[in-house]
Amino acid sequence: MPIAILMPALSPTMTEGNLLKWHKKVGDSVKAGEVLAEIETDKATMEVEAVDEGTLGRILVEEKTEGVKVNTPIAVLLEKGEKPADLDSFKVASVGPAPTQEAAPHVPEPVATHEIHAPVSSQERVFASPLAKRLAQEKSLDLHSIQGSGPHGRIVKKDVEGFSGAGGRSFGSSTRTAATGPEFRDVALSSMRKVIAKRLLESKQTVPHFYLTADCHLDSLMAIRKSLNESIEGIKLTVNDFIIKASALALQDVPAANATWMGDSIRYYRDSDVAVAVALEDGLITPILRQAHVKSVFDISSEMKQLAKKAKENKLRPDEFQGGSFSISNLGMYNIPQFGAIINPPQAGILAVGAGQQRPVVEDGEIFVATVMTCTLSVDHRVIDGKTGADFLNAIKNYLENPALMLI
């Protein structure tokens, strides 16, 4: 009997995705493990591999279709010995998004004993990045009038910014509700923004946060970093590389902090898998450096650069951003001296890192100038108590202020 290929759930938070490209066409043979299609989720673009073998008999969801719900049939696979005529017993009906004012293409619905529901993609659908859509709304531009230069003709930021479009249609102009009312515009939420909103709201409502703050003196670290960058060709260590290493080692020194909340239990980890927030066009993602405690600061620097690049290109694999027991969010490069971050459940802690600044410091009755960085640790009190949190933050501070310990 023909096998329905379903829209997969490629991450725990995925409810729908965009079908970017088919790697197989109708009539092609399919072997288990071969790449069938590329799917864009709220986090990344990933390849979908075949589970069964056979022949691709019918494609139900065309390339560049957005908002395909998880578990929706996207294609039909014919098993060995079956023929295309066997598909006549399948009934295809549309359960996609509500129809637009322009009619969707007609899909024949032969009588069948098996029913497959698939969304019908509108020929008027626009394929664009979330940032491109937002910029188009700000500029009152119609995306239908813009030629995309991204992968598979996708409209990206530069296409909107470079569009002159004298004859283009406009939409979404600012609205004034009354003679004295303010102007406003409504921007639809992207898949990523919906997930961020849901998870962070859940975190603040259900996780009992408490916060610990420490000022870390960075002069020794800055000196070692400068020396290494100048003496080793091709090396460009950042302060964040040392922060990742310090946090990973501190998780080993204070194993009670290397934990996650499991509902009816607390899970303690052997390795220090540290997640690091990376800003994207429409939100952020936290790629993970696995076993960061056993990696040199040079390896951490190289791997972090690769992960950040993949994150910004939407190419992270699920295993590269799912999991981890601790996170780091660094806004120092944006000249923010201090802030508190929201915990990413089920993790029990996140370190918010501010900018390193020259400040007056009093020590043994003497005043001197030092480079100081304020770090704020957000902690889940269900998992970590005050003393454990303090021990953990002090361990991070000790490594940052004695960076030679991280190079041993």
Which sequence positions are flagged as catalytic? 381
In terms of Cβ atoms closer than 10 Å to its own Cβ (0-12, 13-18, 19+), residue 77 is: buried
Tokens representing 303 are 């791997």
Tokens representing 294 are 């056993």
Residues whose CB is less than 8 angstroms from the CB of residue 328 and which lie 6 or more positions away in sequence, other chains included: 240, 243, 244, 247, 274, 275, 276, 277, 350, 351, 353
In terms of Cβ atoms closer than 10 Å to its own Cβ (0-12, 13-18, 19+), residue 150 is: middle
CA–CA distances in Å: residue 199 to residues 31, 52, 196, 343, 390 = 37, 34, 5, 10, 26
Q: Residue 92: enclosing H or E segment and its boundaries?
A: strand 90-93
- Residue 22 near residue 35, CB atoms below 8 Å: no
Tokens representing 164 are 């002159």
Q: Whose structure tokens read 């049939």?
A: 73
Distance CA 379, CA 317 (A): 28
CA–CA distances in Å: residue 160 to residues 65, 144, 151, 281 = 21, 11, 15, 14
Instruction: Could you list the beta-strand ranges (E) of 162-231.
Output: 175-176, 183-184, 209-217
Cα 207 off chain centre by: 21
